Amino acid sequence: MATTPGEVSEELPPVDVWIHKLDFKSTAEVKIPERLVDQVIGQERAVEVIRKAAEQKRHVMLIGDPGTGKSMLARSMTELLPRDELQDIIVYHNPEDPNEPKIRVVPAGKGREIVNAQKAEAAQRREQKASMVMTIVFFIIGLSVILAYNWGSNPPSFKPDASTTILFGILVAAIGEGWCFFANAVSYIAVIAGLLMMRIEGRFERQERGSAVESVIEGFRFARRTAPVWALLLLVGVVSLVAMPYTVLMPIFADRVLHGGARGLGLLMGATGIGALAGALVLAARTRLEGLGRWVAISAAAFGVTLLAFAFSRWFWISFVVLVPAGFAMMLEMACTNTLLQAMSPDRLRGRVMALYSMMFMGLAPLGSLFAGSVADRIGVAWTVAIGGIVCIASAAWFARRIPSLRAEARQLIVAQQLVGGEPAGATATPRATP
């Protein structure tokens, strides 16, 4: 119980009388009791109740207006209780359920030490993260300038999708998503600088006549009437539409299914990138076109199988391991399709055929993401990815059954391009090369 401001304890003399009885020249000479309970003035009855409650280990309810000393009395009671029986309660954020925080009980006095240590550790991590970000930014800027200077006149023909997936997967786990977007923006300096430094020697005149619409129709007509080209385009379109959207659902898997958070997402994306890089290196080491059609079918089926395994995995590291062959199969299927399409297309139509490939590969992916999000909202992310894997396997089986009927026409197209010198740069195909 606490007295109100209007009440004055009988043991306390008036303030002016009390002040005159004290002999001091400055406030520095006024002795302040060490214990907080002895510093309470004007609440002698409340102090007495606090002392008895602490001695008898009873609960106390303090009721009064603001400013009557309730908080000070409550704090002073902790000094009267046995020190070895007190405990500090530390509340931690629970990323799995914000409404149920994690509780930790430690001996009295340890709580403040733990909190201060964690604050110091967090400050150190922020400093390390800032240093890492600045190092990465300066590295990217320097590398961009060097690459732009060296590649300005002869840009390389490889696609760094796999390596950048690994890089940014690691960066997400290390420094977070926001800084990764910043690093990605800085990386475009190399692209812009390379484009500015390119010099086109001479001009090439178009040999055919007609409008742009007629040219597009001509390219589409060639793809539609050429069975091997059309089959490859259909397969890559189906895979992009139903299977590739698993990357859009990856944050949900990382956070809600596998409970890995942003760090887990970075590791999962890095696993996909490792497999994709391995697939690109395997295809780069191959010097012949023979058998690439079978590779397309097998890799598409393997991609579907790995998606099924990933969809129903509930252990983070199993999912991590499964995504490595998933990235490998995905890269192999797309790269083999790309190579075959270029090898079978005439020089004057190759750009239009590859535009159709880009439309099927990249153009259908956003539609697939929209479709996957809508389906996942109704049946869950696991079954959505699983259905995509099943459709991917079925499409691979359809393509594999058509390979014997497509082989002869594909061989004729590839041989024709070799005879007229239309073979893509860097590819060494033989007349026996078939899909």
Contact 125, 170 (CB under 8 A): no
Beta-bridge partner residues of 89: 105
Phi/psi zone of residue 176: left (φ > 0), alpha (ψ -120 to 50 degrees), beta?
Answer: left
Domain extent listing, the chain: 1-81, 212-435
Contact 226, 409 (CB under 8 A): yes
Residue 143 CA to residue 146 CA, distance in Å, equals 5
Helix 161-175 to helix 177-197 angle (10° resolution) is 150
Please state the pTM of the whole predicted model: 0.58
> Would you write out the chain's pLDDT as a tens digit for each of its 435 residues?
444 444 444 455 676 777 777 777 777 777 777 788 888 877 888 888 888 888 888 888 888 888 888 888 888 887 887 766 677 888 888 877 778 888 888 887 788 888 888 888 887 777 766 666 666 656 555 555 555 444 444 444 344 444 455 455 555 555 566 666 777 777 777 778 777 877 766 555 555 566 788 888 898 999 999 999 999 999 999 999 999 989 889 888 988 888 887 778 878 888 888 888 888 888 878 878 888 889 999 999 999 999 999 999 989 899 999 999 999 999 899 989 999 999 899 888 888 999 999 999 888 888 998 999 999 989 999 999 999 999 999 999 999 999 999 988 988 888 887 655 444 433 343 334 445
Q: For residues 276-301, b (16+ Cβ closer than 10 Å) or e, as one string?
A: bbbbbeebeebeebbebbebbbbbbb
Q: What is the pLDDT of residue 83?
A: 67
Supply angle C-alpha 301, 339, 214, rounded to 5: 110
**Multiple choice CATH, 212-435, 1.10.3720.10, 3.40.50.300, 1.25.40.10, 1.20.1250.20:** 1.20.1250.20
Q: What is the pLDDT of residue 171?
A: 59
In the block, residue with structure tokens 């535009």: 355
**Strands annotated E in 55-156:** 87-92, 102-107
Tally of CB atoms within 10 A around 409: 16
Residue 33 CA to residue 36 CA, distance in Å, equals 7
